[in-house]
């Protein structure tokens, strides 16, 4: 049941491809197939999380190649039968049934495709949440360095290698697994990780013979997939800030929200009623309403007019002065395209758990308040997991080669830019400052929180090393900078892009009295450029909005100004290497004060302008009373 990629035509040789370099352009069909391939690899990993959640172990094992190897920390096993058993043991606590919680949050992928297009590699962060009878390890965290192979026309996992970082129970939180946290070797190089998949083809790779009408249709599908994925992520960002007007704007005229425990609500009023279960529009002082979106798989219908997106919402909600809640919800949403614009047709949510942070999630779901109005009907049953998308219908119009190439290259750019974004975060975790600096363009800017901006790879390296030094030995703590939920807009021309990501940071340390895991959260609004054929970061800027003290308190009882007091010392760097430009945006994590929120885009359906639209033109603090115009 592995996800299927229509690549049979790869085997039909038309001619030999020219070497793909910064100065040569790969054949259109080569660019298409390689771009589809690396995106399909991403979907395979996400599908595993969905099958584990539903305890569909046969389907999970079928995602692996015939002779795949798997090592989850209990020794390597080989072959699908042994892998199925190992998956049940590791993720299902030895039980094959659906009882309990099995949530694996796959984050921050760095994906590279081999020159011949027959294999791929992927690095992932994973956070696991587990519950049920006999489960004592409720939290897990680690890194995968996986391999994938194209087998009988389908992409499958050929090597699954897990490197544990932290683990713990619900009561105390997470702590390091190894006493000295090792650096998991990278499968990629800093200088090349931003290369689009179509540019790394071998010079003798066969050129797929694909009919022009299918090239056009598949190129359009790539564009539609990214539009739907962006729309899903944008929905999440608006909902987290309780921007209810903007959320409602994203729905089509017949839109609805269906939640399994309350029913279906139709129309703008019904949608608003469900949304306001979280609270009225806007965040009040002390509110946290975060629902990071992960494991998203998008499937566009053959006619290109409708689509589905399935994924997870990981909830961290509550109030600084009251309760904090963990939650997990699976969604399987429907979208429709009209007049060239994608809109949400139906949000369909299936809660898995919601619990006070002081109470085990093995308890029953603690539901949100009922909506203020009666449901329009029962919610639909949870649909089967997306297995594969039917191929698109051939395009009716003649192939426009320039348009198709722009669509394909934009789709390849979204993966390459995400690679750079996630590799950048990995290098922060491991104090690899030289490699981190190589993520930037020649005149790229990097914000040093609490200090200012530094321009150019050399000064960025000197700032990072001067402030944080070398990696410590032994390494007893690690902040995991997962940059997730990317909204990527590639500009016309295909050489510049804007990138919004969410920082979901799990901080872990060795077990000791008075210490436990903590978290940080923030929003990056960045930009990237295609330089010498490789995507690099040209501007990196973060607004932190949450800094917790401990796992036990979560996001409650946070004193005003905690974020400011926890900024790393900067006197030496300011004295020896002054910044090139002043700070913009939040100077520190302001929670429980509600920070300002900047966006690089307007509402993609209504065009509504956010209160704070980048680029920023002045330094602001969370206590600013009036919006600043760009």
248 and 292 share one domain? yes
260 and 409 share one domain? no
407 and 552 share one domain? yes
Nearest to 416 by CA among 131, 585, 595, 192: 192
Which one of 287, 322, 356 terminates a domain? 356
The two structure tokens encoding residue 31: 């660019």
| Percentage with pLDDT > 90 across the chain | 85
Residue 592 carries which DSSP code? T
Find the domain containing 225 and state its range: 221-356
Work out the average pLDDT over 88-98: 94
| Prediction pTM value | 0.94
- Cα 308 to Cα 262, 380, 486, 534, distances in angstroms: 22, 15, 18, 31
Q: Is residue 626 predicted with pLDDT exceeding 50?
A: no
Lowest mean pLDDT among 162-166, 192-196, 391-395, 567-571: 567-571
**What band does 25 get if pLDDT is binned at 50, 70 and 90?**
confident
408 and 538 share one domain? yes
Residue 110, domain member (yes or no): yes
The structural domain count of the chain equals 3
342 and 259 share one domain? yes
Which of residues 326 and 15 earns the better pLDDT score? 326
Lowest mean pLDDT among 182-186, 560-564, 578-582, 621-625: 621-625
Beta strands in 339-439 (DSSP E): 341-356
Residue 216 backbone class (left: φ over 0; alpha: ψ -120 to 50; beta: rest): alpha
**pLDDT attached to residue 24:** 66
Cβ pair 349, 329 in contact under 8 A: yes
Identify the burial level of 619 via C-beta atoms within 10 angstroms of its C-beta, where 0-12 means exposed, 13-18 middle and 19 or more buried.
middle
Render pLDDT for 480-509 as a digit per residue (tens, 0 to 9). 999 999 999 999 999 999 999 999 999 999
Lowest mean pLDDT among 192-196, 554-558, 618-622: 618-622
308 and 263 share one domain? yes
| Percentage with pLDDT > 70 across the chain | 94
Looking up residue 329, the CATH number of its domain turns out to be 3.10.450.50
**What band does 569 get if pLDDT is binned at 50, 70 and 90?**
confident
Count Cα atoms within 13 angstroms, Cβ side, for 71: 13
463 and 545 share one domain? yes
567 and 457 share one domain? yes
Cα–Cα distance measured from residue 256 to residue 262, given in angstroms and rounded to the nearest whole number: 13
Render pLDDT for 537-546 as a digit per residue (tens, 0 to 9). 999 999 999 9
187 and 225 share one domain? no
225 and 154 share one domain? no
447 and 346 share one domain? no
Work out the average pLDDT over 259-275: 97
187 and 235 share one domain? no
Cβ pair 486, 108 in contact under 8 A: no
Cβ pair 295, 287 in contact under 8 A: no
Q: Is residue 20 predicted with pLDDT exceeding 90?
A: no
Q: Is 101 helix (H, G, I), strand (E, B) or coil?
A: strand
Q: Is residue 11 predicted with pLDDT exceeding 50?
A: no
Work out the average pLDDT over 55-67: 98
Render pLDDT for 298-346 as a digit per residue (tens, 0 to 9). 999 999 999 999 999 999 999 999 899 999 999 999 999 999 999 999 9
Distance of CA 248 to the CA centre of its chain: 23
Cα–Cα distance measured from residue 521 to residue 98, given in angstroms and rounded to the nearest whole number: 32
Count Cα atoms within 13 angstroms, Cβ side, for 488: 29
């Amino acid at each position: 049941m592995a996800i299927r990629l229509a690549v049979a035509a790869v085997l039909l040789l038309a001619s030999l491809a020219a070497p793909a370099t910064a100065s040569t352009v790969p054949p259109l069909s080569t660019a298409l197939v390689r771009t589809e391939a690396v995106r399909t690899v991403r979907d395979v990993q996400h599908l595993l999380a969905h099958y584990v959640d539903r305890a569909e172990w046969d389907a999970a094992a079928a995602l692996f190649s015939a002779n795949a190897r798997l090592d989850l920390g209990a020794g390597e096993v080989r072959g699908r039968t042994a892998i199925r058993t190992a998956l049940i043991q590791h993720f299902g606590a030895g039980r094959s049934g659906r009882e309990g919680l099995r949530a694996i949050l796959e984050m921050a992928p760095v994906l590279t495709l081999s020159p011949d297009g027959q294999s791929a590699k992927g690095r992932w962060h994973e956070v696991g949440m587990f519950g049920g009878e006999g489960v004592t390890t409720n939290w897990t965290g680690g890194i995968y360095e996986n391999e994938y192979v194209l087998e009988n026309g389908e992409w499958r996992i050929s090597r699954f290698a897990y490197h544990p970082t932290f683990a713990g129970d619900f009561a105390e939180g997470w702590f390091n697994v190894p006493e000295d946290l090792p650096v998991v070797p990278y499968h990629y190089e800093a200088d090349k990780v931003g290369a689009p998949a179509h540019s790394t083809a071998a010079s003798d790779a066969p050129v797929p013979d694909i009919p022009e009408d299918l090239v056009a249709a598949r190129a359009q599908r790539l564009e539609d997939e990214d539009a739907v994925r962006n729309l899903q992520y944008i929905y999440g960002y608006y909902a987290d800030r309780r921007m209810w007007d903007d959320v409602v704007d994203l729905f089509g005229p017949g839109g609805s929200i269906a939640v399994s425990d309350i029913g279906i609500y139709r129309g703008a009023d019904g949608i608003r009623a469900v949304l306001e279960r979280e609270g009225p529009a806007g965040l009040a002082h002390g509110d946290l309403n975060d629902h990071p979106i992960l494991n998203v798989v998008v499937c566009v219908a053959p006619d290109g007019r409708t689509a589905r997106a399935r994924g997870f919402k990981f909830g961290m909600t509550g109030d600084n002065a009251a309760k904090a809640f963990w939650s997990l919800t699976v969604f399987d949403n429907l979208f429709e395209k009209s007049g060239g614009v994608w809109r949400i047709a139906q949000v369909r949510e299936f809660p898995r758990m919601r619990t006070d942070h002081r109470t085990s999630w093995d308890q029953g779901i603690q539901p949100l308040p009922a909506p203020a109005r009666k449901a329009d009907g029962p919610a639909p049953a949870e649909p089967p997991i997306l297995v594969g998308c039917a191929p698109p219908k051939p395009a009716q119009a003649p192939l426009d080669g320039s348009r198709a190439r722009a669509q394909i290259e934009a789709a390849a750019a979204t993966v390459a830019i995400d690679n750079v974004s996630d590799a950048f975060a990995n290098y922060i975790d491991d104090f690899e400052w030289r490699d981190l600096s190589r993520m930037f363009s020649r005149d790229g800017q990097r914000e040093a929180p609490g200090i200012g901006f530094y321009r150019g790879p050399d000064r960025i390296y000197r700032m990072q090393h001067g402030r944080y030094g070398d990696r410590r030995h032994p390494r007893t703590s690690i902040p995991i900078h997962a940059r997730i939920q990317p909204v990527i807009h590639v500009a016309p021309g295909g050489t510049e892009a804007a990138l919004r990501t969410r920082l979901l940071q799990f901080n872990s340390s060795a077990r000791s009295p008075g210490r436990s895991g903590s978290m940080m959260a923030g929003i990056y609004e960045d930009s990237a450029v295609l330089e010498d054929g490789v995507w690099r970061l040209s501007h990196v800027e973060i607004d932190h909005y949450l800094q917790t003290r401990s796992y036990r308190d979560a996001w409650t009882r946070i004193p005003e100004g905690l974020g400011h007091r926890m900024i790393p010392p900067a006197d030496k760097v300011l004295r020896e290497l002054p910044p090139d430009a002043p700070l913009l945006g939040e100077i520190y994590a302001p929670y429980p004060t509600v920070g300002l929120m900047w966006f690089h885009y307007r509402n993609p359906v209504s065009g509504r302008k956010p209160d704070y639209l980048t680029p920023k033109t002045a330094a602001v603090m969370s206590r600013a009373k009036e919006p600043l115009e760009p």
